[in-house]
Amino acid sequence: MSTAIDKDERVPSALSRLTSARIATRTAVWCEAGIDTTALSFFPLLVIVPRGVAALISAAGLCAVGLVLSTRGPKPCTALATVGALLGCLVLWGSASAIWSVDWRRSLVVAVRLAGLFTAGLALVGATNSIRAPGRLTLILLGSLALALALAAVDLTTHGAVGAPFTDRAYQPAGLNQASVSFAILLFPMTAVLVGRRLRVCALLLAAATGALIFILAGTTAKAALAAGLLVGILCFCSRTRVAHAAAIISVFVIITAPLTFARLGWLPVLTETADAVKLSAGHRLWIWSFAGDHIAQRPLAGWGLDSSRSIPGGKDLVRPDESWLPLHPHNAPLQLWLELGVPGAVLFALVVAYVWHALAVAPWSPIFGAAAGASLTSALIACVAAYGIWQEWWIGVLWFLLFGVLVTARATSTTIARENTPVRPLSIVAASSEDDGIAVRFSRRPDATAEK
């Protein structure tokens, strides 16, 4: 008989060193319960009070820090450290941009906020492997999504009755845009989890209900994100490594050339007229991108300063009745990075996106979940390019929490597949002892050792 001893690559709990193992265990339980609570609240909060997600991600980040410190988790991940370093450089460059920013006070304030949100997000992602019950958390996310779908349908039918008690603004169908985009991003991993658990009917019902609601709601970005995600997901299912690496190259090209591509679309009258025919805000968006491109050309190296878009000279002038050249932000992440942080900001953003695609290419996930994750990443990038300011706190919180959700569901799916693929011997003799003249034999079912090699 030979005995195999695996090396323990997990580091001791930091909290257990300072207190006791019992306190560390209790802390871990409560912190994971806190993360479960934030997960349950995530999607409904996007329907009712979308901007409250910023506070939610902060609370989840604190729970994640407590969970990591109180568990005997794995060694720090190189990939997470790399992304953290790139985001840290982005925050430092944004802070430095206050020196030449047209609104230096806002640049400093936003840099501090980004530092906090990035720290909370990194902590949340870093706590993924410390979650003791990823399956339970995945079910909570599914329940949160289902509850939010019902709330969104009721809110749409009743013209805002669900969210009315939490806002003093008049009802607008576009108020559900944030929720619909988030539905589109996490729909694919959630469906993959159900398929992995052989709940194909449930997966089909979830996909049909979510897709139908997204196309009924007003948000155009969510529709485009869902369609693009589906296409890339199919390609990833065929060859995830090649598609992910190709997507990384394409993403870098799109970000670096944004001032020469997106910013020039408004110069084409046919395209502008077509965009206006589809949706009035779409045509306005092209004019915004054109204005951003003209001002990028004025300061291409260092930009105008972090989150200075709302203070760019001429931005409040009207291009059309009731439509200014640059209201708040360019509604395009690559253009906003170029406009505010110049070449360094655009390069750092491109590196972050490319690294995430590379991580997807090498992730040890099943084909169907890898494809779902690729679809989810595509949907998120489409939303970044077509809508929202990249520094909006609620949007950063959504992106971090959705990334955390994908990683947790990946763990839950891997655990399920591993359990189903482990052969089991009918009966195995695991211990025998003799006492007096009798023999006691204990039987149990156990995994086949040969299957683990």
258's CB contacts (< 8 A; 6+ apart) are: 332, 334, 335, 338, 346
Burial of residue 420 (number of CB atoms within 10 Å: 0-12, 13-18, 19+): exposed
Res 14: pLDDT? 54
Quick one: the chain helix, strand, coil %, rounded to 5? 75, 5, 20
Res 330: pLDDT? 92
pLDDT digits (tens, 9 = 90+) for 55-68: 999 999 999 998 98
pLDDT of 293 strictly over 60: yes
Task: Look over the chain and give the mean of its residue pLDDT values, rounded to a whole number.
Answer: 85
CB 359 within 8 A of CB 410: no
In this structure, what are the phi and psi dihedrals at residue 391, rounded to the nearest 5 degrees? -100, 5
| Contacts of 259-263 spanning 24+ positions with Cβ under 8 A | 259/293, 259/296, 259/297, 259/300, 259/335, 259/338, 260/293, 262/289, 262/293, 262/332, 262/334, 262/335, 262/385, 263/289, 263/290, 263/292, 263/293, 263/294, 263/296, 263/335
Separation between Cα atoms, residue 355 and residue 378, nearest integer Å: 14
Res 432: pLDDT? 39
108's CB contacts (< 8 A; 6+ apart) are: 95, 98
pLDDT digits (tens, 9 = 90+) for 364-399: 999 999 999 999 999 999 999 988 999 999 999 999
CB 379 within 8 A of CB 226: yes
User: Which token pair is 277?
Assistant: 């025919």
| Average pLDDT over every residue of 134-145 | 94
Res 247: pLDDT? 97
Res 421: pLDDT? 52
Res 268: pLDDT? 76
Res 282: pLDDT? 78
Residue type present at position 118: F
Res 304: pLDDT? 95
pLDDT digits (tens, 9 = 90+) for 242-262: 999 999 999 999 999 999 999
End-to-end CA distance of the chain: 16
Q: Where are the domains of the chain?
A: 14-164+173-420, 425-453
